Structure 1
Amino acid sequence: MVSTPKAPKAPDPTQTAAAQTATNVDTAIANAGLSHTNQYTPDGSLEYKISGHTTMTDQNGKTYQLPTYSAYQTYSPENQAIYDQTQQTQLGLSKLANDQTQKVSGILGTNVDLSAGNVDKYVNDHWQSGFNNPWDRDQASLDQSLADKGISMGSAAYDNAMRDFSTRKQAASDQYLGDMYSNAQNSILTERNQPLNEISALMSGSQVNQPNYVNSPTTQLPTVDQAGLINENYNQQMAGYNQQVSQKNAAMGGLFGLGGSLLGGWAMSDRRLKRNIHQIGATASGLPVYEYEYAWGGGRQVGFMADEVAAIAPHAVAEGPGGFMMVSYAGVL
């Protein structure tokens, strides 16, 4: 009998997954290295360096060491000098703002007084004299004019003139105080907020500038389909196995067919009568099985070599016409 081929072992899913994971990790590390492009410009440089490693463990318990990168930005000497000077200036402004804060720390603890009495007092303290002075001069001028006309104080004409003057002055005072009331409110709030606005302005000049990073060009390597390659290799092995099984079945059919078709199961099997000989298998006892053609033609045949059969089963070998050896396939099989 022709020996049965051994089927290939199917891939282990766990090992296949582990192989794919390892390939993915290696590809990711390579892509990270390709993406971290060092940059050098007249204003400064940006460099990437491996600063450590991160440990990752997959579902099978295998551990991977993944490199971690740090980016280092360096200014040119000129830009570094500007940066240092700017930092000194900003630090000074920050200290000044802190000093001002100590001075006005009590402001926020005091309520803003916008009551009518306080606003009126503010108007009187700051602007009332500006209203009264011109009207005082106008009244003195009116007194002189009445006196020049012979209108004495206490007369009806004098009282009428003073009454008209007082009416005009009161109307102007009401209009003036209305306008100044709003100005007084704004001025009180300005005095309250001015120190705080100064501190805010100082602090806005002491903010630290964050460095701007440029986008590095990204290079991506495709991930090798390791699992697909393993499965494809298995499929190819299975195809070879199936082909061997087909050849084995053909050899078995040829042997049994030949043994049954010849008289007594004898066939000319002398090696000297055959050409294009190729071994395609072996029997369970180790006897090689060949595919070949006879010297006189007739297509491809399957069978033994008489000299090899004689070494294992001499009773199945006999001398035929012309001194060529024959084999009893029935005796061998």
Structure 2
Amino acid sequence: MVSTPKAPKAPDPTQTAAAQTATNVDTAIANAGLSHTNQYTPDGSLEYKQTGNTTMTDQNGKTYQLPTYSAYQKYSPQNQAIYDQTQQTQLGLAKLANDQTGKVSGILGTNVDLSAGNVDKYVNDHWQSGFNNQWDRDQASLDQSLADKGISMGSAAYDNALRDFSTRKQAASDQYLGDMYSNAQNSILTERNQPLNEISALMSGSQVNQPNYVNTPTTQLPTVDQAGLINENYNQKMGAYNSQMQASNAAMGGLFGLGGSLLGGWAKGGFALSDRRLKHDVIPLGTMASGLPVYEYSYVWGGGRQVGVMADEVESIFPDAVAEGPGGFKMVDYARII
């Protein structure tokens, strides 16, 4: 029989997945390289540099080396000078603020005393003496005025005038203390907060302008459908295989048909004429399982295209299947070789 074509081997899913993964990794690396666009502005620059690699292992155990990048920002010379000066200033202010932390700790460890007694004491300590001095001067003026009028100390007129003066002084004192009470509270809070505000001011400083960068444009390369290409190649091979199988089946059908028809009667005792000298336009088709070549050809007397073997080649393998026919031409018993 004619040799059967071999079917193409189906793609290995693991190898196909590995090929697709490798293609995806290559595409990702290319996209990363295209997307890392260096930027340069009046305020500074931004540059990307490959600084190493990281290893990735897929689900099949295959490893890939992926590049890693670092971004480097740099100020313009003017901004760098501002930045250096600002850093020095902030460092000095920070040291000065640190020196004041002991003072702050003491302040924060003491509760603010806004009790009536403490507020009154604050008024007395800070403003009461000025109030009293003013009224002492007013009393001296009153004494002088009474003396000029001939009103002597200890007289009824003097006592009445002094009583009126004391009443006015007490009323003024009450009004004064009421007015100064709120001021005293604010002053106590201000004295407590002042060191905290000073340290807060020391901790703040000038800020350098940050470079402004536009968004890095992203460039995407399309990923090659490696798995699709592998499967398409397999499908093409399968198509070729199916065509070969059809040709092989046709050849087999021709051989069996030849063995049954015995070449339209050119036979003797079950043998069919198959001498090479009687054939022309010979085309090889393949081989039988025994190794015998199979051909397509036409006989010299016509009759259409035929499929069969050459008697001289059959005789070397199956001598019993060959006999001599009319005119000395050799014949083949196809039943013995199929």
Which bin holds the TM-score, normalised by the shorter protein? 0.7 to 0.9
In structure 1, what is the Cα distance between the partners aligned to 2:208 and 2:43?
A: 19
Residue 204 (1) aligns with residue 204 (2): yes
2:294 corresponding residue in structure 1: 289
The 1:36/1:151 distance shift into structure 2, 3 A limit, reads same
Structure 1, unaligned runs of 5 or more: none
The 1:207/1:80 distance shift into structure 2, 3 A limit, reads closer
Residues 53-83 of structure 1: CA distance to partner in whole angstroms, max 9, x if unpaired? 2222233333322222112222333332222
In structure 2, what is the Cα distance between the partners aligned to 1:210 and 1:265?
A: 102
The 1:291/1:215 distance shift into structure 2, 3 A limit, reads farther
The question of whether the paired residues in 1 share the 8 Å contact of 2:51 and 2:70 is answered with yes
The 1:210/1:240 distance shift into structure 2, 3 A limit, reads same
In structure 2, what is the Cα distance between the partners aligned to 1:186 and 1:294?
A: 130
The question of whether the paired residues in 2 share the 8 Å contact of 1:37 and 1:216 is answered with yes
In structure 2, what is the Cα distance between the partners aligned to 1:45 and 1:298?
A: 88
2:25 corresponding residue in structure 1: 25
SS in 1 for 2:106: coil
In structure 1, what is the Cα distance between the partners aligned to 2:96 and 2:122?
A: 31
In structure 2, what is the Cα distance between the partners aligned to 1:39 and 1:271?
A: 85
Residue 78 (1) aligns with residue 84 (2): no
**Deviation for aligned residue 1:187:** 1.4
The 1:125/1:299 distance shift into structure 2, 3 A limit, reads farther
TM (norm. structure 1) is 0.77
1:7 corresponding residue in structure 2: 7
Amino acid at match of 1:258: L
**Deviation for aligned residue 1:91:** 2.0
Q: How does 1:1-333 map onto structure 2 within 5 Å? A: 1-129=1-129, 159=160, 162=163, 173-205=173-205, 214-262=214-262, 263=265, 266=272, 275=281, 279-290=284-295, 302-304=307-309, 316=322, 329-330=334-335, 332-333=337-338
**Deviation for aligned residue 1:195:** 1.0
The 1:179/1:327 distance shift into structure 2, 3 A limit, reads farther
In structure 1, what is the Cα distance between the partners aligned to 2:244 and 2:171?
A: 123
**Deviation for aligned residue 1:188:** 0.9
The question of whether the paired residues in 2 share the 8 Å contact of 1:258 and 1:265 is answered with no
Amino acid at match of 1:15: Q
Residues 17-56 of structure 1: CA distance to partner in whole angstroms, max 9, x if unpaired? 2222222222222222111122233333222222122222
In structure 2, what is the Cα distance between the partners aligned to 1:117 and 1:269?
A: 142
**Deviation for aligned residue 1:203:** 0.9
The question of whether the paired residues in 2 share the 8 Å contact of 1:320 and 1:326 is answered with no
In structure 2, what is the Cα distance between the partners aligned to 1:291 and 1:257?
A: 13
The 1:324/1:174 distance shift into structure 2, 3 A limit, reads farther
The question of whether the paired residues in 1 share the 8 Å contact of 2:45 and 2:211 is answered with no
- Between 1:225-234 and 1:172-181, the stretch displaced more is 172-181
The 1:287/1:175 distance shift into structure 2, 3 A limit, reads farther
- State how many pairs are aligned: 330
TM (norm. structure 2) is 0.76
Amino acid at match of 1:111: N
SS in 2 for 1:107: helix
The question of whether the paired residues in 1 share the 8 Å contact of 2:43 and 2:210 is answered with no
In structure 2, what is the Cα distance between the partners aligned to 1:102 and 1:210?
A: 35
Amino acid at match of 2:78: E
Note the aligned Cα RMSD (angstroms).
Answer: 4.2
**Deviation for aligned residue 1:97:** 1.9
In structure 1, what is the Cα distance between the partners aligned to 2:175 and 2:306?
A: 131
The 1:295/1:44 distance shift into structure 2, 3 A limit, reads farther
Amino acid at match of 2:290: S
- Between 1:77-86 and 1:165-174, the stretch displaced more is 165-174
In structure 1, what is the Cα distance between the partners aligned to 2:170 and 2:53?
A: 87
In structure 2, what is the Cα distance between the partners aligned to 1:305 and 1:187?
A: 129
The 1:125/1:290 distance shift into structure 2, 3 A limit, reads farther
Amino acid at match of 1:247: A
Give identity over the alignment, percent: 81
